[in-house]
Amino acid sequence: MRRFVLSALALCVSVVAQSSTVDSYISTESPIAQAGLLANIGPDGSKSSGAYPGVVIASPSTTNPDYLYTWVRDSSLVFKTLIDQFTAGNDASLRTLIDDFTTAEAAIQQITNPSGSVSTGGLGEPKFNINETAFTGAWGRPQRDGPALRSTALITYANWLLANNNASYVSNTLWPIIKLDLDYVSNNWNQSTFDLWEEIDSSSFFTTAVQHMSLRQGSTLATAIGQTSVVSGYNTQADNLLCFLQSYWNPTGGYITANTGGGRSGIDANTVLASIHTFDVDAGCDAATFQPCSDVALSNLKVYVDSFRSIYSINSGIASDAAVATGRYPEDVYQGGNPWYLTTFAVAEQLYDSLTAWSKAGSLNVTSTSLAFFQQFSSGVTAGSYASSTSTYSTLTTAIKNFADGFIAVDATYTPSGGALAEQYGRSNGTPVSAVDLTWSYASALTVFAARAGNVSASWGAAGLAVPATCSGNSGPTVAVTFNVDATTVEGENIYVSGSVGALGNWDTSSAIAMSAANYPTWSVTVNVTASSNIQYKYIRIQNGAVTWESDPNNSITTPASGTYTTNDTWR
């Protein structure tokens, strides 16, 4: 193992020594991470044999676990990293890969899959085979963050092309792809989704946050290229998403509840990843969009990090105000429930982003919400605003920079000598485990290194947004209704639910809600619908575009004023 830190306690060293340690790691790991990422992109990547051009494999691992697939989420985050590098002028050669990615994703959008066709929910399908064919096995579907993240990556590229006099490619090639994704987000954001980790079917903070960002960006791009007919609709739904985003905040616990279902604490890296992937330096420390330096995001970060201090043996003996290894969520048992490279890097990235925002603002604010976070670094600090010229500002930012470096140093400690980054490392001994050469791990290393250097992506329009006084969609008084129906099907046939309210498509079969067959022959989906209302609905079968309704009469329920509701039906 590469050992830049002599012991766990050595993580709490002086600023100069810590920075030197991290500087050394970044110097050696940066080219390794870049090469590792590129090795996993078809067709020429050294570890991506069989992948079509522009297709990102999650990992070359084929057993325990088998990750030799392409996920829309992972691919989009990976290519957002490359597009940021390209548009910053760091590597002009990346443009060929970016164009390959564009072509690949355009093809993948059109693949009919278990979530549906391009017009009936198929854009919510999370993963595909690396030869651009549908993965038809059982899986947690749909996952509604992929279209938002893919559109964000391509909008970043589109904005660069517009600035460099290539509007025709944007309008003719990129916009049709982007619009499909944005329309999907606009029409489906208030439906349940499997979360970032593909385990819980409810509403997800990460998904809501990136969906909101994508519609804001999409509205701006549409205006720039004259596609104004969609602008009002995107803005309306973006406002609804911003409203709904506020509901994840848990003021009592001082953290963001990652998912509305699942029965866990809700403390989850989902929230930290959402903060860094929706960072807009022009928005400062805005709390409505949970910017990295907002009081709610900083409070959440402390709760998240502290939840791992006592559950991993490798964190034993580390001071309560020093960096530790972190994982997905404290209740995790996947592959043994271990720290992840990308989640630990994400903590550092949120802190670096905060430092960048404070530097730009020339001050930082401590509120009652964020006080516990700041008191880790200065026990006597009180709520207030501290200008960059004050000693309190210097004390806090110096300590936070050292704290952030500590999380990189933790990952450095458990990085093998060759620099390869797996998905996880063992909670008791730090040995790399699970999927090898995880593409997302490499991308997370590159983005945290860039954040430490003060590099930021272009603004996406988060500055100055106000949460509307009234909200619609699933941001008003709603309840989660789980629709279950026992229905046997033939190959290629899927079950949907359609009904009398907007959340169920208003009886429009093209907007019907795809159901999951994870517990076949029971098909299930959870939808957020208006509380205290009468809803009529039916199930439909769709096969190759042909729609078959179940027999009359309509099913009917009255939703409760609060809580949840579950139906258990049998296909008629």
CATH of the domain at 486: 2.60.40.10
Pairwise CA distance, residues 378 & 396, whole Å: 7
Within a domain: 462? no
By CB neighbour count within 10 A (0-12 exposed, 13-18 middle, 19+ buried), where does 148 fall? buried
Domain co-membership, 392 together with 492 = no
Count of CB atoms situated within 10 Å of the CB of 183:
18
Residue numbers of the domain that contains 182: 8-452
Predicted model pTM: 0.83
Same domain, 488 and 443: no
Looking at residue 472, its pLDDT comes to 67
Q: For residues 81 and 107, is the Cβ–Cβ distance under 8 A?
A: no
Answer with the one of 382, 417, 452 that is the final residue of a domain.
452
Residues 419 and 497 in one domain: no
Confidence at residue 15, expressed as pLDDT on a 0 to 100 scale: 35
Q: What pLDDT, on the 0 to 100 scale, is given for residue 535?
A: 84
**438 in the same domain as 494:** no
Residue 472: closest CA among 164, 237, 283:
237
10-residue mean pLDDT profile of the chain (572 residues): values are 40 46 96 98 96 98 97 98 97 97 98 95 97 96 97 98 96 98 94 93 95 98 96 94 93 94 92 98 97 98 98 96 97 97 98 98 98 97 98 98 97 97 98 98 98 96 90 61 94 91 79 89 87 83 92 87 86 94
139 annotated as a binding-site residue: yes
67 falls within a domain: yes
Whether 362 and 236 map to the same domain: the answer is: yes
195 catalytic? Reply is: yes
The whole-number pLDDT of residue 503 equals: 79
> Is 295 tagged catalytic?
no
* Token pair of 430 as six digits: 């730090």
Would you state the pLDDT for residue 473? 58
* 3-state helix/strand/coil string of 378-408: CCCCCCEEEECCCHHHHHHHHHHHHHHHHHH
- Among residues 498, 456, 256, which one has the least CA distance to residue 356? 456
Collect contacts of 157-164 with beta carbons under 8 A, ≥24 apart: 157/83, 157/86, 157/87, 157/98, 157/102, 158/221, 159/87, 159/221, 159/224, 159/458, 160/83, 160/86, 160/87, 162/224, 162/225
Which residues make Cβ contacts (< 8 Å) with residue 546, sequence separation at least 6? none
Note whether 371 and 437 are same-domain residues: yes
Q: Are residues 431 and 538 in the same domain?
A: no
Is residue 178 domain-shared with residue 70, that is, in the same domain? yes
pLDDT of residue 29: 98
Q: Structural domain tally of the chain? A: 2
Final residue of a domain: which of 395, 418, 452? Answer: 452
Helix (H, G, I), strand (E, B) or coil at 557: strand
Any domain includes 182: yes
CATH for 201: 1.50.10.10
The active-site residue out of 105, 145, 195, 280 is 195
Please indicate, yes or no, whether residues 488 and 431 belong to a single structural domain of this protein.
Answer: no
Identify the pLDDT of residue 4: 44
Q: Which of 198, 306, 331, 493 is catalytic?
A: 198
Q: What is the pLDDT of residue 16?
A: 39
Res 354: pLDDT: 98
Does 144 share its domain with 281? yes
